[in-house]
């Protein structure tokens, strides 16, 4: 069987999905990565890369007045290629509140950002025009603590859970540490005992429609620069991470194959 570049892309993705079909609720459909320590916002051109159809938008919360629910049409200022029409909207409901405490968050050391304490909030995502669905979500997670959690849903089906406790121990490394660039707020050097990082989540097999953000205790879950997108035939940016060691190896192999195929197509 002879496959073109797009054919190989579909083959690799379907292989990854089939391999994880028996454990879908453990997060097999999501590939997670983190960017370099100084990154606090997504770069649209990097996300869209060589995709023939890509739409990436962002909510910075700069003009948010703190009222909930918050309904936003994500800004198209990042990137849009391939002639896609429409956009992506998000409705935030639940226990989020507005903060401008720059020790714990605020990308760039300025503006407002959402936080939640001993509660949850939900982001319901909708698409319009020719955008078929949302398969990318990125955000700057500041002052990461063990009780931070993200859950991704397709409809009412849970497809992936991100637990910060595992990520702290197996992703970014312990803090405080003078040799760990992820320790401490990069804008002012405060909070050296916690990690700060921009995270990317890609759905390799479909789309997600809802994200639930949870903080189980009083320490707070601070985020900023929420970024959503549809990226056809994506090549992930950042360093791969997943709390499933077996899936990590499989997904990393798939990502390497995909990047190799892209290079051959040049």
Question: CA 130 to CA 27: how far, in whole Å?
Answer: 27
Residue 15 lies in a domain: no
Residue 9 lies in a domain: no
DSSP output for 195-216: EEEEEEEEESSS---EEEEEE-
Question: CA 46 to CA 39: how far, in whole Å?
Answer: 12
For residue 169, what pLDDT is reported? 78
What is the distance, to the nearest Å, from the Cα of residue 117 to the centroid of all Cα atoms in its chain?
20
Residue 10 lies in a domain: no
Condensed to tens digits (0 to 9), the pLDDT of residues 61-108 reads 999 999 999 999 998 779 999 999 999 999 999 999 999 999 999 999
Residue 82 lies in a domain: yes
Q: What is the residue-averaged pLDDT of the chain?
A: 84
Domain membership of residue 129 as a residue range: 24-244
Residue 73 lies in a domain: yes
Question: Looking at the predicted structure, is the pLDDT value of residue 256 above 60?
Answer: no
Q: What CATH number is associated with residue 212?
A: 2.60.120
Report which of residues 33 and 262 the model is more confident about: 33
Joined together, the tokens standing for residue 162 give: 């991100």
Domain count, the chain: 1
Question: Looking at the predicted structure, is the pLDDT value of residue 24 above 70?
Answer: no
Question: CA 15 to CA 204: how far, in whole Å?
Answer: 11
- Strands (E) in the chain, as ranges, are 30-34, 54-59, 70-73, 75-81, 88-94, 97-99, 113-116, 119-127, 136-144, 148-154, 157-163, 195-203, 210-215, 221-231, 239-241
For residue 224, what pLDDT is reported? 98
Residue 252 lies in a domain: no
> Greatest CA separation found in the chain?
58
Measured at the alpha carbon of residue 227, what is the angle toward residues 263 and 161, in degrees to the nearest 5? 90
For residue 242, what pLDDT is reported? 61
For residue 29, what pLDDT is reported? 79
Condensed to tens digits (0 to 9), the pLDDT of residues 138-190 reads 999 999 999 999 999 999 999 999 999 888 877 788 899 999 999 999 999 99
For residue 261, what pLDDT is reported? 46
Torsion sign over Cα 257, 169, 164, 192? negative
Q: Quickly tell me which residue has 């990393």 as its tokens.
A: 252
Band (50; pLDDT cuts 50, 70, 90): confident
Question: CA 50 to CA 30: how far, in whole Å?
Answer: 21
Residue 81 lies in a domain: yes
Percent of the chain with pLDDT over 90: 70
Beta bridge partners of 136: 202, 229
If 0-12 CB within 10 Å is exposed, 13-18 middle and 19+ buried, where does residue 124 land?
Answer: middle
Band (112; pLDDT cuts 50, 70, 90): very high
**H helix intervals, the chain:** 5-19, 44-48, 164-167, 245-265
For residue 173, what pLDDT is reported? 85
């Amino acid at each position: 069987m002879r496959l073109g570049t797009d054919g190989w892309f579909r083959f690799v993705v379907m292989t990854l999905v089939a391999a994880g079909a028996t454990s879908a609720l453990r997060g097999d459909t999501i590939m997670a990565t983190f960017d370099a320590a100084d990154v606090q916002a997504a770069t649209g051109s990097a996300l869209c890369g060589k995709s023939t159809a890509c739409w990436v938008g962002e909510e910075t919360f700069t003009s948010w007045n703190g009222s909930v629910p918050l309904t936003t049409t994500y800004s198209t200022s990042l990137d849009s290629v391939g002639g896609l029409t429409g956009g992506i909207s998000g409705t935030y409901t639940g226990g989020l509140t507005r903060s401008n405490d720059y020790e714990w968050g605020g990308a760039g050391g300025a503006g407002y950002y959402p936080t939640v304490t001993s509660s949850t909030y939900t982001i319901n995502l909708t698409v319009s025009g020719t955008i078929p669905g949302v398969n990318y979500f990125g955000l700057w997670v500041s002052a990461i603590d063990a009780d931070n959690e993200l859950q991704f849903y397709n409809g009412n089906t849970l497809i992936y859970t991100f637990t910060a406790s595992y990520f702290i121990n197996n992703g970014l490394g312990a803090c405080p540490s003078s040799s760990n660039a992820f320790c401490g707020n990069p804008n002012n050097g405060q909070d050296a005992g916690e990690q700060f990082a921009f995270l990317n989540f890609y759905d390799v097999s479909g789309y997600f429609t809802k994200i639930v953000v949870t903080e189980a205790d009083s320490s707070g879950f601070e985020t900023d620069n929420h970024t959503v997108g549809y990226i056809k035939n994506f090549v992930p940016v950042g360093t791969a991470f997943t709390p499933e060691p077996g899936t990590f190896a499989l997904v990393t192999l798939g990502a390497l194959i995909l990047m190799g195929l892209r290079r051959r197509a040049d």
